[in-house]
């Protein structure tokens, strides 16, 4: 099956930021819209001929179809290899880790972060560089410039790639490797956090409730919290990624967390409750503690640093911002911790508040 050259014309409004391009799903599904931007993205990074890329997304509507298009366009543009998450799934931190650990040339991540998913909701696409971090402004500007003059895109004529089976296949002359989207990231987290200590905490009766909001973090949370750390089954809820996130709003904000807030304000709440964005990069954490120690950073939502050392530094800096809070020496207090990763790798901020038990 041959490489095809498709004649096209510029489409207005395809200006990406460091978080990529976000539009309504139906806009991306329109004629040439996705293809124009993907070709402009490839051209904006200097082409993908001879390069290796990572592809995956948060599982929202159109994620699987967009992945098929990107694979076919990468093959037609001369990429050597594409590594894709099984069923086109990859959280942003996991994609960042694969980009760095497998020494690829970058990755295409499909997500609109905390925006709702579904055919009538939002979709997004962005490029992360070889350091695992978002494309800098100079690169996104080059992509945007290309969208304003594009006149053709390349795509390989083929049937769909089997995204559901882990293994290696070919698409034209390009190698396609389908990988477990969770395994490598779980291995990484075990080098950064004291899993035996956390496991002992759960063995001692501590309870946790993690709401994955039917987005990408569900499989990671189930593998880490329940399977490895030994929290009781059911500690992770809404764990199955769905195209519309089950109608839930994938925003780690108490405004959208009525179920968890009700549980946290009960007489016997869990020690920790957590929510993350659809892409798994921003955490809302509420903790019931009896000392002034800051909350524990989540091993599910680490930022996109340029190195593992940066990852430790970001977590430490985020927690340090909570130290201004008064200690609780008599009664437990409930902490709400919001750690928001800035788009530049290695920067983080956090805000904290408490309510008396």
CB 144 within 8 A of CB 50: no
Q: Measure the N-to-C terminal CA separation of the chain; round to a whole number of Å.
A: 66
List, in order, residues 6 or more apart from 204 with CB less than 8 Å away. none
Burial of 142 (0-12, 13-18, 19+ CB in 10 A): middle
Nearest to 277 by CA among 122, 133, 46: 122
Nearest-angstrom CA–CA distance, 352 and 334: 10
Active-site option among 111, 113, 298, 315 = 113
Q: Are strands 3-7 and 152-156 parallel, antiparallel or unpaired?
A: antiparallel
Which structure tokens are listed for 253? Answer: 């904000």
> Within 13 Å of residue 128, how many CA atoms lie on the same side as its CB?
32
> Within 13 Å of residue 125, how many CA atoms lie on the same side as its CB?
30
Q: Give alpha helix (H) positions in the chain.
A: 25-28, 33-44, 63-76, 92-101, 137-147, 183-192, 195-203, 217-221, 258-264, 308-320
List, in order, residues 6 or more apart from 75 with CB less than 8 Å away. 3, 82, 156, 158, 171, 172, 173, 174
Q: Which string of b and e fits 15-44 if b means at least 16 CB within 10 Å?
A: ebebbbbbbbbebbbeebbbbbbbbbbbbb
Active site residue 113: yes
Nearest-angstrom CA–CA distance, 147 and 153: 11
Active site residues: 113
């Amino acid at each position: 099956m041959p490489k095809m050259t498709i004649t096209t014309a510029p489409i207005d409004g395809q200006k990406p930021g460091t978080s990529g391009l976000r539009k309504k799903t139906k806009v991306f599904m329109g004629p040439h819209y996705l293809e124009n931007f993907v070709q402009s993205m490839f051209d904006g990074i200097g082409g993908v001929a001879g390069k290796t890329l990572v592809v995956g997304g948060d599982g929202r509507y159109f994620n699987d179809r967009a992945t098929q298009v990107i694979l076919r366009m990468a093959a037609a543009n001369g990429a050597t290899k594409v590594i894709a998450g099984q069923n086109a799934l990859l959280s942003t931190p996991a994609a960042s880790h694969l980009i760095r650990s497998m020494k690829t040339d970058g990755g295409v991540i499909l997500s609109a972060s905390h925006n709702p998913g579904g055919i009538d909701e939002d979709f997004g696409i962005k490029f992360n560089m070889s350091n695992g971090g978002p494309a800098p402004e100079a690169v996104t500007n080059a992509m945007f410039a290309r969208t304003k003059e594009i006149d053709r895109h390349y795509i390989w004529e083929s049937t769909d790639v089997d995204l559901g089976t882990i293994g290696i296949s070919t698409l034209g002359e390009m190698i396609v490797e389908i990988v477990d989207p969770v395994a490598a990231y779980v291995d990484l987290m075990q080098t950064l956090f004291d899993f035996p200590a956390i496991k002992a905490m759960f063995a001692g009766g501590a309870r946790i409730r993690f709401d994955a909001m039917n987005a990408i973090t569900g499989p990671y949370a189930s593998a880490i919290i329940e399977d490895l750390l030994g929290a009781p089954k059911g500690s992770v809820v809404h764990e199955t990624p769905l195209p519309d996130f089950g109608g839930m709003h994938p925003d780690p904000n108490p405004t959208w967390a009525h179920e968890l807030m009700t549980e946290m304000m009960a007489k016997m709440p869990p020690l920790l409750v957590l929510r993350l964005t659809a892409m798994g990069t921003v955490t809302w954490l509420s903790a019931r503690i009896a000392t002034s120690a800051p909350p524990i950073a989540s091993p599910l939502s680490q930022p996109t640093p340029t190195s593992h050392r940066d990852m430790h530094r970001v977590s430490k800096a985020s927690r340090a911002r909570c130290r201004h809070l008064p200690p609780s020496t008599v009664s437990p207090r409930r902490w709400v911790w919001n750690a928001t990763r800035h788009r530049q790798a290695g920067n983080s901020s956090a805000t904290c508040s408490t309510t008396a038990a």
